[in-house]
Chain A
Amino acid sequence: MTGRAVAPDASGFEQLLAAKEIMVFCGSGGVGKTSIAAATALGAVTRLGGKVLVLTIDPARRLASALGLEGIGNVERRVPDEALRAAGVTPRGELYAAMLDTKASWDDLVTRHAPDRATAQRILENRLYHNITARFVQSHDYIAMERLFELHATGTYDLIVIDTPPTRNALDFLEAPARMAEFFGGRLLRWLTMPYRMGSGRGARVVNVASRPFYQMADRILGSQFLQDIAEFFLNFQSMYDGFVARAESVERLLHDRRTTFSVVTTLEGAPLREAEFFCSELRARKFHLGALVLNKTLPAYLRSSEGSRSAAAMVTNADAVAAQLTDLGGELADPTHDARVLRTIGDSFENFSVVAKREAELRGELEGGSDIVLDVPGLEVDIHDIGGLVAIGDYLFAG
């Protein structure tokens, strides 16, 4: 690997990145996967160098604006060095960004695997195909991993950082390649399309006996035209079968490869944390490499301090007495009633936030079976909408 150097005293996270070619971030919705992925890629390109790509699936296009790239699509774009320098960091390599366009990726896949242009055209124009690829989100799971495979196979990038699609089940995408292969190789699919493949004669009679109840029922519920559409679609799709299954298996292999690592992002809230723990154990059970566990948007530790709580309690209960200590300073502090009101307000507020901070700490304490590398990223007081914000997150990540 050229251009990637890791210092001997580098943090665990930095060493992990130096040893891997792919880092997949997963976690439940709303935990900040996209920013963490972008900050990781940015941190890698400034610390380790090389060509680093961040691939995001996030539909809200936040990364695009964060990286100063409006409307980035399926094609990778270089993030200009000037944009990084403007944020006060010096790139040691090249940073690229890309966004997953599900529809375009599916079209590419079909065009690549279809035996000829006419078949590709028939598939691309099929209304079922349109529905499956564009309308129904399950297809994102597979295509994201497929796209990752393709980008990795180009050999262009030293490191690819990807955030995973917001699936209903965060594990869906892991199973997607296997499911895809199973689906197109499945006996049931052959069975379903059989009457349309066999046409007439002896074969058709055999089919009739075997599947009559199913076809009668399906006909009545869905109408035979629909079944025919499905069959036609899959007959066309089956011409790509071998290439497709082989490809899905390669994708699966890449995810299991030792060059690939998975990191889990979570906030310290009940539901996302439970999901993260489940995710860690599943990754391990399925023999994927578990990299880091990122605890994102945590509250600062001082909110849990007993000293802070004592002072806050004193400000609330003895507000008037405490205020009396300030009034002789004059100016804005001259009015004891007003001072006392502000003291009560900030004391109460501290206690409020302290409750949440303590709940977070408790949840952190319960964390079991996580990763060796656990990283804390405090909730930054401002939004991450520029490279400077990503740099700030990266500093926390690469410290651990």
Chain B
Amino acid sequence: MSLSLLDRRLLFFTGKGGVGKSTVAAAFALLAAQHGKRVLVVQVDAKGNLTDLFEHRPVGFKPVQVHPGVYALTMNTQDSLKEYLKLNLKVPVIGRIGPVARALDFVASAAPGVKEILTVGKIVWEVREAIEGRADWDLVVVDAAATGHVVAQLGAPEAIRELLSVGVVKTQTEWMSEILADPAITALNVVATPEEMPVNETIELVAQARAELAVPLGAVIVNRVLPELFTRDDERVFAAMSEPEPTARLSSATGPGATAVLDGARLAVSLRRTRAVHLSRLRKTLDLPMLYVPYLFVRSHGLRVTHRVAEALGEELGL
């Protein structure tokens, strides 16, 4: 199946906390860069570790190259507001921008949709600049808010439009919504692990996004899929090995740790089995393309892991 995800200009990645959303977003960016694209990665949560995944120091609001072809920025609504004021109020407010920005920041917390619009607005603005040839991004990848927040964020232009009857912002929400709703440009992707809660949240999010957002859904990326250890024949052999006499022989042949190895295999099988139930529930409930990333038995995260996840995603996408 050709997903053509990498042909779009704006990819959001969301998911329940702890499922590896940042890793998958970083891997997509890396994969796109490996295919010659110039990618901007936006980290929406300032506390994230996105640049760690490229083994680069943290970055601020100004895009910085973190890997060949990959640039990153960390969202900051105050900086976004400053940039917005500078671009839109073609008046010399620079000297006075401090107090004004503070006051507007206050309005932002009074009507919290303003914060969301400053986040999504900056992202979509970068995409529009690129489409219209004023910025170099072939693709903008967003390590977006977690499942609980992402609908509020992506729905912000609509929400703001409902609240505002006139004003510059109202006009601007219109082109934002257009870009966000264009299936040739934008896709919202959900990262999940084959566990109960992440699967529940993914199913709920997809339903909510379909009901409340005009943003097209892309793919579900299932992360940390455990390998199937045994074929059915292997299982019978393994069951026979677990009997007392064979176990005793294994201990004398390989040492007293043989029982730990057998226990470990049983654990691996049952972990895989529990997850398989959730995986099939996800597959049955959702009619979205699914990409699978295997569980990586590695010591720590970093560029090496990002590469391996990118490789897995590349295979899944048939690249």
Contacts and interface: CB of A to CB of B under 8 A. Distances in A.
Interface of A: 28-31, 59-60, 62, 127-128, 131-132, 135-139, 166, 168-169, 183, 188-189, 192, 213-214, 217-227, 229-230, 234, 267, 269-272, 275, 300, 302-303, 305-312, 314-315, 318, 321-322, 325-326, 329, 331-333, 335, 338-339, 341-342, 345-347, 349-350, 352-356, 358-359, 379, 381-383, 385
Contacts of B99: 214
B100 A229 contact: no
Contact of B167 (A28, A214, A220, A358): A220
Contacts of A224: 166
Q: Which of B106, B204, B301 has the most CB of A within 10 A?
A: B106
Nearest to A227: B107
B17 A311 contact: no
Nearest to B146: A29
Given A333-B240, A347-B261, 9 more contacts: A136-B113, A213-B100, A307-B255, A312-B257, A315-B261, A339-B241, A345-B234, A346-B238, A383-B195
B47 interface: yes
Q: Which of B85, B197, B239 has the most CB of A within 10 A?
A: B197
Interface of B: 16-19, 45, 47, 49, 85, 88-89, 93, 96, 99-100, 103-104, 106-107, 109-113, 116, 145-146, 148-149, 152, 155, 159, 162-170, 195-198, 200-201, 204, 229-230, 233-234, 236-241, 245-246, 249-258, 260-265, 267-268, 270-271, 274, 297-301
Contacts of B113: 131, 135-136
Given A28-B18, A188-B106, A350-B264, A225 B165 contact: yes
A35 to B, nearest CB: 9
A312 B253 CA distance: 11
A271 B49 contact: yes
B156 to A, nearest CB: 9
B167 A311 contact: no
A325 B253 contact: yes
Q: DSSP majority for the B interface?
A: helix
Q: DSSP majority for the A interface?
A: helix
21 contacts: A29-B18, A30-B18, A137-B152, A213-B100, A214-B99, A221-B88, A223-B167, A226-B164, A229-B163, A271-B18, A303-B260, A307-B256, A309-B257, A325-B249, A326-B249, A332-B237, A342-B238, A346-B265, A349-B229, A381-B267, A382-B274
A222 B116 CA distance: 15
A322 B111 contact: no
Given A28-B17, A213-B96, A230-B107, A346 B253 contact: no
A188 B108 CA distance: 12
B241 A333 contact: yes
Nearest to A138: B112
Contacts of B271: 379, 381
Contacts of B201: 59-60
B163 A62 contact: no
By Cβ-Cβ distance, the 6 closest A-B pairs, closest first, are: A29-B17, A30-B18, A223-B167, A307-B257, A308-B260, A311-B257
A302 B265 CA distance: 12
A394 B212 CA distance: 39
A64 to B, nearest CB: 12
A332 B107 contact: no
A342 B237 contact: yes
A272 B241 CA distance: 38
A138 B104 CA distance: 18
Contacts of B241: 326, 333, 339, 342
A355 B268 CA distance: 14
Given A30-B19, A230-B107, A349-B265, A225 B166 contact: yes
A310 B271 CA distance: 23
B78 to A, nearest CB: 15
Contacts of A272: 18
Contacts of B146: 29, 166, 168
B22 to A, nearest CB: 9
Contacts of B256: 307, 311
A310 B257 contact: yes
A188 B110 CA distance: 11
Given A213-B96, A307-B260, A346 B229 contact: yes
Contacts of A305: 257, 260
A188 B100 CA distance: 12
B234 A342 contact: yes
